Each structure stands twice: as C-alpha cells, then as structure tokens.
Amino acid sequence: MDRNLIFPRSLRYLMAVAEHQSFTRAAEALYVSQPTLSQQIKQLEDLLEAQLLDRTGRNVRLTAAGEVYLQHARRALVELNAGSRAIYELHDLSRGSLRLGMTPISDYLATPLLDQFNGRYPGITVSTLEMPQSDIEAALADDKVDIGIAFGSAPSSTVFSDEIDTHIMFIESLNLAVGKGHPLAGQTRPLNGEVLEQEPLVLFHQDYALRRHIDQYCLEQGITPRIVMEATSLSVIIEMVRRGRLATILPETIAHSQHGLHSVPLQPGLPRHTITLICRKGAYKSPACLAFGELAGEWSAARCQLDGDKPFVPSSATEDDDAPDTEAGLDKAATGA
C-alpha cells in the first residue's frame, strides 16, 4: 500500500520542505503547487499552535519545535509502514494468532489437526483453552475464542443457540477401552453390553455429559455398571486403564492412539458422537481462522476417506462430551469445515 494514502499530507509536505530546505523544490518533488504546500503546512502550524519552519533565511529550516515534531512524525511513519507489512503478513499467513476452545475429549481427537496446522503455518500462534462446552459457546459470543471444537452425541432434540454455526468434521464410535495387559485386550468380536456389569470401570464424574450418555445407555439396556472410580481428568482415566485393572468407555480413536490401550466394541453399540467445529455466526474471521477452517475441511475429508465413512449429517445432536451440566446439540450440520 502506498504510504501516501495513510500518512497525512501536511506531514509529508513538512518532511519534504525539511529535506529540500525550500518550498519550491519540495513542491516540485511532490508534484504539487507551492501555494498548496505552503497552505497545508500553515494549517498544521495553526493546529499545533507552534511555528515549525523558519522562513526568514535563504534556506527554509526547521525550528526547535519543528525538529521535535518531525522526529515523532518520522517514527509514526515507520510504525505505519510496519503496520502495513503486518497486515500483509497476516493475509500471507506468515504471522497471526488463533484461539481455540475445546473440551477434554475434543482436544485429544483434534491434536492431529493442530499438528497439521502448525506444520503448514508455523508463524501462527495457536492458543488452546480447555473448557466445558457451554463455556465454549459463551466464549465465542464474548469473542474470547475464535473457534470451538465440540464432541457430542446424536440424535437429540436440543440445539445450539441461533448465534452459532456448526460444521461436522467426522463421526466417532464409543467403545470399551482396556489396558494391553487386561484379559479382554485380545478381544476383537463385539461384547455384550452386560460386560459393563462384570468389569470394574473408571468413568468421568456423573456431572459430565459423556458419563450421562453412558448412564443412559446402561439404563436403556437394563445394565448396572460396576463403577469403582470416577474422575474429571481424561489423562487420569487413560492412565488408570493403562495399568490394566480397570476399563472405561472412550472414543475409538483415542483408544487406538494411546499406547497401552485396546478398544473393544460393544453390542449393541453406544450412540456415535460427532466432532464439530463451532463458531459465532456472522463474526469476523481472521485469515488464521479461515485457514484453520479450510484445513479442517481437508483433514475431515481425508479422515473420512481413510476410515471408509460416508458423510453423516444428523438432524440434531447433543453436545459436549465432558462439559459438566451441559446439554446442547447441533442446530445445523455440514460435513467439512
């Protein structure tokens, strides 16, 4: 961008007169008339209530006030030029920032996406904030995060607010997860859901939505699960299961990606869950935010193709896997981002 479009004419004229020590030569260099140049500088002096130029000598010189003011004007020009370059770099994606709100489950599932984004745009700083799903929606509304990544079951009659746009990336199955040393670790065929009555389980605390989904499944199947430990940390649950005595219920991707865990399907299966991008409808989206959405779409398409899944568009879904006291869902869904 031409700096003349954003730098005041009066300051450009003052700098030219100071450089050429002449109104005539400065006007010629700027391709303006001398009266126009003189008038602009006189208006600037009137505005500042200070004489900036000494016009009495053979050459026009800066006064003490003019010297001081021009120093600041030159610094301002440097900052304006730096601002122009920074804007270009933002659109060039060589710098910038992105704020993501995620639940404890979705941050595990979205880690490969974050790794790809960092690899493609290493100059963009990504801040991830772990929070309940209801807090993510509030953070979007308050402009505290740019994008949320939700983990919710389908179907349900509840929806996100009308101010939220939703975009399903992929569908995730929930399975029994055991440690590699567990007797069920070699099991490949689906197990009857009644195994939950026999195996000691470590699950999220009952205030968490994923736990409520599990409880609802057990209620519908007439199962009384053997819960011996509750936790609010996914890391604690994974570590306890990894040690071999306890089992849990986790998204299949997490169980497969964690060293020392083995995923065992249940029959009948638990309701599948969606991984969904959410953002505030109509909000300004920075170049970094748009780039993340585009990459999320590519990642989603590649992942679905790899898994052999077809795009899945539920009419609605409950939201949040691990958000305490949270019940929400999808008001609309689209594959990709």
Q: Write down all domains in the chain, each with its CATH number in brackets.
A: 3-92 (1.10.10.10), 96-172+273-307 (3.40.190.10), 174-267 (3.40.190.290)
Q: Report the pLDDT value the prediction gives residue 159, as an integer from 0 to 100.
A: 52
Say if residue 56 is exposed, middle or buried (CB neighbours under 10 Å; 0-12, 13-18, 19+).
exposed
What the block records as the tokens of 317 is 């879904």
The whole-number average pLDDT for the span 138-148 is: 90
**Half-sphere exposure in the Cβ direction for 64 (13 Å, CA):** 0
Q: What share of the chain has pLDDT > 70, as a percent? A: 85
Residue 238 has pLDDT above 90, yes or no: yes
Which tens digits make up the pLDDT trace of 66-88?
999 999 999 888 888 878 777 87
CA distances for 186 relative to 172, 250, 308, angstroms: 22, 17, 24
Taken in order 189, 193, 196, 197, the sign of the CA dihedral is: negative
Query: Cis peptide leading into 225, omega within 30 of 0?
Result: no
Tell me what percent of the chain is helix, strand and coil, each rounded to the nearest 5.
Answer: 45, 20, 35
CA 86 – CA 111 distance, rounded (Å):
28
CA 104 – CA 260 distance, rounded (Å):
20
CA 56 – CA 73 distance, rounded (Å):
24
Residue 311 has pLDDT above 80, yes or no: no
Maximum Cα interatomic distance, the chain, rounded to a whole number of Å: 102
CA 169 – CA 275 distance, rounded (Å):
6
CB 37 within 8 A of CB 27: yes
Region of 59 (left: φ > 0; alpha: ψ -120 to 50; beta: rest) is beta
Taken in order 66, 67, 69, 74, the sign of the CA dihedral is: positive
Q: Report the pLDDT value the prediction gives residue 302, as an integer from 0 to 100.
A: 82
Which tens digits make up the pLDDT trace of 223-233?
999 999 999 88
How confident is residue 303, by pLDDT bands cut at 50, 70 and 90?
Answer: confident
CA 178 – CA 186 distance, rounded (Å):
10
Mean per-residue pLDDT of the chain = 83
